[in-house]
Amino acid sequence: MSVLAGVRGPRTDGGTERSPLSARQEVLRLSALLWGLAIVFGAITLARSAALGIPLRDPDGTILRNRLTTAAELAVLAILADSLVRAVLARRRGEGAWSAVRQRWNGARLVLVASGLLGYHAVYFCYRNLKSWDTYNTPRDTELLAFDKALFLGNHPAVLLHDLLGRDTAADVLAFVYRSFTYLIVASVVGCLVLMPRIRQGYLMLFAATWAWILGLAGYYLIPSLGPFASAPQEFAGLRSTAITATQAKYLAERAQMLHDPSVSGAFQSISAFPSLHVGVTTTVLLVAWVYGFRRVAAALGVFLVGTMLATIYFGWHFVSDDVAGVVLAISAVTLSRWFLAGFSSLRWDAVTAVDVRPDAAEAPRG
């Protein structure tokens, strides 16, 4: 099916075009689905919090406040840039600049962008707290490490990478790749919500990323693990010190504090290995780009994904099985996202994924 199918200008063949109000109602259903998912996940989080006697936390605003602020600021900048481009193009066509901007950024679309960002970050906040409480599940690193070594004929895959790539320059390069993941997430979610021709298309990425966090959390509790850097630290002692190794030391100290006294204000930990969500979310973004026909973007993301996989093994964040599980998770997340959009919202799937790149394509205020 062509990615250009399903998004067209006004009907001229006597057919009945769906009214803007009807389309807006359908898009509002997408927002309701996102918040329904967030509320269910939030209820699970609150139940777990009550069972453990540990409150939800946002240490120094790093989990919710700062991330939401950054996403909102980026969204505003992207909206302003999009509006400026539309205004300039409208003037060149002899049309009203303000009318072109208002047609694109009507109230319904602005509300849905804001609602989407809030719902997504609410799920992420719950995910991070539930991940922190994964501390109290018994790690199964021994089995995962044995499986890794069996795959590589008795060798530790990280050590093989150290011998192949070296322990100095490669560490700096892979540390840069690994840390770039944070920027990929916010750029993908905000970029899709703001810049895709239809807000429904942006919600494909939003739902996929949301499901990735939820499925990843399920994996953490299904097979609790810390990762090779924590369970086999001797294999990584020879690596050059980088921001990654400093972060790992910090995370181990935070986990020890969480185990010792979770009642301490700010007690919070961030270590869980199975599956790798660096791999899972990166693959999710790649798959969404592929679904929309952005082949060059998908190819670039493929290169980044390979670098991310190498980094997760090289630094001992993850076992090989974690990375494989991350790919499976991504496929599941995108599949669930497509199901939500095409199944629950009463939208045709071709209308959900369609990307109309024609400069003269009509864009009525459909939300």
Q: What is the dihedral of CA 65, 70, 72, 76, to 10 degrees?
A: 160
User: Which residue has 């240490």 as its token pair?
Assistant: 59
What are the pLDDT tens digits along the chain (367 aa)? 333 233 333 332 333 334 444 556 766 787 888 999 999 999 999 999 999 999 999 999 999 999 999 999 999 999 999 999 988 888 888 788 888 888 888 888 888 899 999 999 999 999 999 999 999 999 999 999 999 999 999 999 999 999 999 998 999 999 999 999 999 999 999 999 999 988 888 999 999 999 999 999 999 999 999 999 998 899 998 888 899 999 999 999 999 999 999 988 889 999 999 999 999 999 999 999 999 889 999 999 999 999 999 999 999 999 999 999 999 999 999 999 988 887 654 444 444 444 333 333 334 333 3
Structure tokens at 100: 């072109």
Q: How many CA atoms lie within 13 A of 127 on its CB side?
A: 24
Q: Are 259 and 132 in contact (CB under 8 A)?
A: no
Can you give the pTM of this predicted structure?
A: 0.86
Q: How many CA atoms lie within 13 A of 297 on its CB side?
A: 15
If you write DSSP's letter for every residue of 260-284 in order, what string do you get? H-TTSTT-------SS-HHHHHHHH
SS3 121: helix
Q: In whole angstroms, what is the distance from residue 21 CA to residue 100 CA?
A: 19
Terminal-to-terminal C-alpha distance of the chain: 24
The CA-atom distances, in angstroms, between 45 and each of 33, 124, 127, 221 are 18, 11, 8, 13
**CA angle (111, 113, 116) in 5-degree steps:** 105
pLDDT of residue 193: 92
